[in-house]
């Protein structure tokens, strides 16, 4: 499922126009993104939790040449599915 498929499903499920469903989906994504930028956790009970995680700088190795390289510190987004979502998928 891509974003357009999600918008179509929301439009159908909520009986909205596709234009209104697009606004709703974009607003949800923007709200989640904004919270993550502020290092806040986004907890959607039954669905899952979005959170940021810090990765420390480390040393790596280029598999082609064997040369050691520096991997810079970074921030990534993690998603942990909730129990209801896990049970629905299994």
Model-level pTM greater than 0.85?
Answer: no
Residue-by-residue pLDDT tens, the chain, 90 positions: 999 999 999 999 999 999 999 999 999 999 999 999 999 999 999 999 999 999 999 999 999 999 999 999 999 999 999 999 999 998
Domains of the chain in start order, with CATH, are 3-89 (4.10.520.10)
Going from the C-alpha of 10 to that of each of 4, 28, 65, 72, the distances in angstroms are: 10, 12, 49, 39
**Using alpha carbons only, how large is the chain's radius of gyration in Å?**
19
Q: Which two tokens stand for residue 34?
A: 């904004």
Q: Classify 57 as helix, strand or coil.
A: coil
């Amino acid at each position: 499922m891509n974003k357009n498929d999600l918008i179509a499903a929301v439009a159908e499920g909520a009986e909205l126009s596709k234009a209104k469903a697009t606004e709703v989906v974009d607003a949800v994504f923007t709200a989640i993104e904004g919270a993550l930028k502020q290092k806040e956790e986004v907890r959607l009970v039954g669905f899952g939790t979005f959170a940021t995680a810090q990765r420390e700088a480390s040393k790596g190795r280029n598999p082609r040449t064997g040369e050691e390289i520096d991997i810079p510190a970074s921030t990534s987004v993690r998603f942990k599915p909730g129990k209801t979502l896990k049970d629905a998928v299994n």
